Amino acid sequence: MIMAGGKGERLMPLTAVRSKPAVPFGGKYRIVDFVLSNFVNSGLSAMYVLVQYKSQSLIEHLRESWRIGGRLRQHFITVVPPQMRSREGWYEGTADAVYQNLNLIEDFGPGLVAVFGADHIYRMDLTHMIDFHLETEADVTVAALPVPVEEASGFGIVEVDRSQRVVGFEEKPKRPKPMPQDPSRAFSSMGNYLFRTDLLIRLLERDASRPGSHDFGRNIIPELIGTHRVFAYDFLRNRVPGVKPHEEPGYWRDVGTLDAYWRANMDLLGERPVFDLRNAEWPILAGTYDGPMASVVRSELDEAMVGQGCRIVEAQVRRSVIGRGVHIEPGALVEDSVILDGVHIGANSRLRRVIADRFSSVPADRDIGSDTGAADGSCHVSPSGLVVIPKEAVAGERARLRQVS
């Protein structure tokens, strides 16, 4: 069960027209492609994707890019909007979303149910987590990532004993409890779970009968501690083929803010990126694009990823991710930026630390970036000074003009 209904309010304006899992990432992907690729690469191809908030963009992407299965009953990726089987209204939490679709689980009849989020950037072989779940005879297994204790107060922290059994859970504690084997780090819940099916059904039926937020992290998991076998799977133990020595071990990012989203895109760049997408043994899958190859004419590119169909003429692109079908005109400079599909950047314009959403444009001779901001109100500026150009917007129509000799 892939939870893909999130609003992603902290990613506005990128989520003004789409849900968080549908936000483009890395030049050719959507955020949801990472969890789906992990399942498919792990040999798990029976997935229900639960959508809700502004879901049309995500539904279209899944329809075009993730058509698997057919006549084989156990191979499918099915989009599930709120069915309102038990009551009227939207999903009221992650647990409620699964509860409203218990008929799908009962009809399929699995021994285990994986409940995973759709809004993180990472690689994971789920078979290792499943093996751990079976070896420990767990009722529930929580995927957890060790984080430095001094940074752990911003996460939901899982307290474990020496056998990795969960003995406590605190949401953003002031004094996080460290891991028994490593006092310098604490276990942060990744929001990904494995459940024994019969237990999951009973838990969700009980939870639905009571008022509350109906959330796995806030309600379901804490109530099981002490009465059921709940274990934490150490994500740093996960091994994925094809990962290179220069990559960060256990790379996982919650791209829930504009700054985190921008930094994760920057992590893809350079000769030795900390998260390298060039992995033929564990590919991140995405949809096809029918445009031509990128065209670069008398331009300077350094630490850049450039998508198909781009046309870059007499321009400079430095440390940036450029999506598909982007046009960059002569004299332009794009630096430390994330440019999504179909953007047009006019001649002699300068962009620094900019996120440009799809099909937006920058007129000629404009300066857009952290040094000039977006004084005309056409853009959004993050707390760190990132400038975000909304989808189909014209940025900087009244911004400072460059002095062109």
* Partners of 228 in the β-ladder: 225
- The SS3 assignment for 296 reads strand
**How far, in Å, CA of 5 to CA of 202, rounded?**
24
57 in helix, strand or coil? helix
Coil vs helix vs strand at 346: coil
User: CA–CA separation, 3 vs 12, rounded Å?
Assistant: 20
In this structure, are strands 156-160 and 185-196 parallel, antiparallel, or unpaired? antiparallel
Work out the angle at residue 72's Cα, subtended by the Cα atoms of residues 43 and 74, and round it to the nearest 5 degrees. Answer: 45
Is 346 labeled as ligand-binding? no
Determine if residue 172 is labeled as part of a ligand binding site: yes
333, 329, 336: which is closest to 303 by C-alpha? 336
156 is in an annotated binding site: yes
Residue 210 backbone zone (phi > 0: left; psi -120 to 50: alpha; other: beta): beta
* Residues contacting 218, CB < 8 A, separation 6+: 93, 171
Let me know if 157 is exposed, middle or buried by CB neighbors in 10 A (0-12, 13-18, 19+). buried
Give the CA angle between residues 263, 373, 357 to the nearest 5°. Answer: 55
CA distance 135 to 130: 9
Binding residues: 91, 156, 171-172, 189
Binding residues for alpha-D-glucose 1-phosphate: 91, 156, 171-172, 189
